[in-house]
């Protein structure tokens, strides 16, 4: 059983297109995240949702819009893709409330490799 899963695993697309990446966690966690890892492996948080509510929104272009239909899913929609959006996008989840033994630990998905041509 995959704890945090992402689809697709690879995404190759043209500039200007709109695409979505999906993330699902079956850990029962209340918080989910999106991270971007650039070509130099630098990892930076983009968004965080707690129980479907946005709690972290870093300085990300508004072409990126996260959507959380329920607390087990956090999707990332990207409009008007640009060359600089090429990266690996990681979804993660954690249990923030009422979890003293495992609090704070974020569990990551396998990543979605996005290449914009």
Partner 1 sequence: AQSVAQPEDQVNVAEGNPLTVKCTYSVSGNPYLFWYVQYPNRGLQFLLKYITGDNLVKGSYGFEAEFNKSQTSFHLKKPSALVSDSALYFCAVRDGEAAGNKLTFGGGTRVLVKP
Using CB atoms within 10 A of its CB, is residue 19 exposed (0-12), middle (13-18) or buried (19+)? Answer: middle
Smallest separation (angstroms) from partner 1 to the CB of 16 = 28
Distance between CA atoms of residues 67 and 22, nearest Å? 9
Residues 13, 19, 22, 45: which binds partner 1 (CB under 8 A)? Answer: 45
Q: How far apart are CA 68 and CA 34, in angstroms?
A: 12
Structure tokens at 67: 């959507």
Q: Quick check: 103 binds partner 1 (CB under 8 A)?
A: yes
Strand, helix or coil for residue 72: coil
* Shortest distance, position 26 Cβ to partner 1, whole Å: 15
Tokens representing 117 are: 């041509």
- Closer of 3 and 15 to partner 1 (Cβ): 3
Query: Applying CB under 8 A, which of residues 78, 81, 109, 116 lies at the interface with partner 1?
Result: 109
Residue with tokens 């695993």: 9
60 lies in the site for partner 1, by CB under 8 A:
no
Among 1, 70, 98, 104, binds partner 1 (CB under 8 A): 104
Number of residues that bind partner 1 (CB under 8 A): 26
């Amino acid at each position: 059983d995959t704890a945090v899963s992402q689809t697709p695993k690879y995404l190759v697309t043209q500039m200007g297109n709109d695409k979505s990446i999906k993330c699902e966690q079956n850990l029962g966690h209340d918080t989910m995240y999106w991270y971007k890892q650039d070509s130099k492996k630098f990892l930076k948080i983009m968004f965080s949702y707690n129980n479907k509510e946005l709690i972290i929104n870093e300085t990300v272009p508004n072409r990126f819009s996260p959507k959380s239909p329920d607390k087990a899913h956090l999707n990332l929609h990207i409009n008007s893709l640009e060359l600089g959006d090429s990266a690996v996008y990681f979804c993660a989840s954690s249990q923030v409330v009422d979890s003293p033994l495992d609090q704070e630990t974020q569990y990551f998905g396998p990543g979605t490799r996005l290449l914009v041509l």
